[in-house]
Amino acid sequence: MPERNRQVVLKRRPNGMPVPEDFAIAEGAPPEPQPGEVLLRGLYLSLDPYMRGRISGQRSYARPTGIGEVIEGRVVGQVVRSRDPAFGEGDYAFGGYGWQLYSAVPASGLLKLDPAEAPISTALGVLGMPGMTAYIGLADIGQPKAGETVVVSAASGAVGAVAGQLAKAQGARVVGIAGGADKCRYVEAELGFDAAVDHRGGDLGAALDRACPNGIDVYFENVGGAVQEAVFPRLNDFGRIVMCGMISEYNDASPRPGPNLGAVVRKRLKIQGFIVSDQRQRYGEFRAMAAPLVRSGQLKYREDIVDGLERAPDAFIGLLQGHNFGKLLVRLADDPTR
Ligand SMILES: NC(=O)c1ccc[n+]([C@@H]2O[C@H](COP(=O)([O-])OP(=O)(O)OC[C@H]3O[C@@H](n4cnc5c(N)ncnc54)[C@H](OP(=O)(O)O)[C@@H]3O)[C@@H](O)[C@H]2O)c1
């Protein structure tokens, strides 16, 4: 049995960028696994951007880490003691818990890893949550088609690297955005993206124009902030943004002006534009539904009628200032049916 456990706990909530003083080391006896649990010795701890949210204390999709609690994190480790028949001593497993050397975890929450299948550390990255994030985001939202241009930010990172490679395998032209020449070289030369653009290298908009001569069809958003600002106006008609994360804004002490798109991720909002004329073939379907409701009075409406064509400009200007009350119409001649 191990002698001591060491843990990193949250000492206080960071204000802006976290500093070492926000964390503290705690030592104690390793936990005792209960029946159905195993004691796991951590071999790899995954550090992920979402942890910044957990230690902020803000209401989000998951419970924040409390002051004095172990910082949350996923661990790949080795079983040192098992109280469940599914695991034996020496087994490798994914699903340990927290920034600590040892954790006692229910066997039912662990995934046994076979080192012969893939390096066990990959369960935290390319074959783990980040890789799956890339896969889900592309399959469910990005849906790139062959020949389309896909832009991925934080392209050399855990999620971005997988997203770009999967998009490339689906026949898209893939452009990565990364910070610095080394990361950009890696994205192009090792990962096989068609181009890489350095967001720290000057005019990002102009660089995107050069790298994406046909505009951008899919943006896999990992970063937000200035990078999002540069990508947004370059999106093509029917473009898709995979709102995965906005890491550049995670340390903001106060919200930026305007609606914060980070909430799209946290609250799993769906934002999709549309133009009604794309659906003009469904007009008959709409009328068949709505006309009886208008006739029966169940669907109410109000008209604001202005008489005379010459009043149209003023009425229109009034509309733009909220002076109309109901559907604004200009009566050009008497309506014989009323
Ligand atoms: N929605 C989900 O379920 C889900 C799941 C997993 C991850 N995510 C999100 O996916 C994104 C990537 O996560 P990851 O695990 O793959 O991390 P990562 O890309 O491996 O590491 C973070 C990278 O973000 C970039 N970055 C950090 N601060 C930045 C800033 N101020 N401006 C621009 N870029 C900055 C840096 O790359 P450069 O130097 O290249 O800029 C950094 O290497 C994050 O936003 C994360 O929150 C979402």
Are residues 148 and 43 located together in one domain of the fold?
Answer: no
100: domain CATH number is 3.90.180.10
Mean pLDDT, to the nearest integer, of 273-280?
92
* Ligand 1 pocket mutation pick from 51, 219, 223, 256 by most atoms within 8 angstroms of CB: 223
Are residues 165 and 76 located together in one domain of the fold?
Answer: no
Are residues 164 and 107 located together in one domain of the fold?
Answer: no
Residues with CB under 6 A from ligand 1: 48-50, 130, 133, 154, 156-160, 178-179, 183, 199, 222-223, 225, 227, 244-248, 265
Question: Confidence band (pLDDT; 50, 70, 90) for 2?
Answer: low
C-alpha to C-alpha distances, 248 to 19, 121, 134, 225, nearest whole angstrom: 17, 26, 18, 6
* Beta-bridge partner residues of 92: 78, 113
Q: pLDDT tens, 190-204?
A: 999 999 999 999 999
Q: pLDDT tens, 132-160?
A: 999 999 999 999 999 999 999 999 999 99
Are residues 253 and 304 located together in one domain of the fold?
Answer: no
Judge whether residue 279 has pLDDT over 80: yes
- Is 320 within a domain? yes
Task: Report the atom number in ligand 1 closest to the C-alpha of 159.
Answer: 16
For the full predicted model, state whether its pTM sits above 0.85: yes
Sign of CA dihedral 161, 76, 110, 250: negative
Q: Of 31, 128, 40, 29, which is closest to residue 88 (Cα–Cα)? A: 40
- Is 338 within a domain? no
| Burial environment of residue 194 by CB neighbours within 10 A (0 to 12, 13 to 18, 19 or more) | middle
180: domain CATH number is 3.40.50.720
Are residues 282 and 169 located together in one domain of the fold?
Answer: no
Task: For ligand 1, atom 28, name the residue with the nearest CA.
Answer: 248
Domain that holds residue 289: 278-331
Are residues 138 and 166 located together in one domain of the fold?
Answer: yes
Task: Report the atom number in ligand 1 closest to the C-alpha of 160.
Answer: 16
Are residues 116 and 160 located together in one domain of the fold?
Answer: no
- Is 337 within a domain? no
Instruction: List the helix and strand counts (H, then E) for the chain.
Output: 9, 14
- Is 236 within a domain? yes
Residue 222 or 1, more confident: 222
Task: Report the atom number in ligand 1 closest to the C-alpha of 48.
Answer: 15
- Is 336 within a domain? no
- Is 189 within a domain? yes
Are residues 263 and 143 located together in one domain of the fold?
Answer: yes
Judge whether residue 318 has pLDDT over 90: yes
Are residues 303 and 204 located together in one domain of the fold?
Answer: no
Asked if 200 and 182 count as a contact pair (C-beta separation under 8 A), the reply is: no
Show which of 99, 124, 149 is a domain's final residue. Answer: 124
- Is 24 within a domain? yes
Q: How many domains does the chain have?
A: 3
Are residues 198 and 268 located together in one domain of the fold?
Answer: yes
Are residues 142 and 243 located together in one domain of the fold?
Answer: yes
Q: Which residue has the tokens 């509309």?
A: 319
Are residues 141 and 242 located together in one domain of the fold?
Answer: yes
Show which of 273, 290, 305 is a domain's final residue. Answer: 273
Show which of 95, 124, 153 is a domain's final residue. Answer: 124
Helix (H, G, I), strand (E, B) or coil at 202: coil
- Please tell me what DSSP assigns to residue 140: I
- Is 60 within a domain? yes
Average pLDDT of the chain to the nearest whole number: 95
The whole-number pLDDT of residue 256 equals 86
Residue 273 or 166, more confident: 166
Asked if 8 and 25 count as a contact pair (C-beta separation under 8 A), the reply is: yes
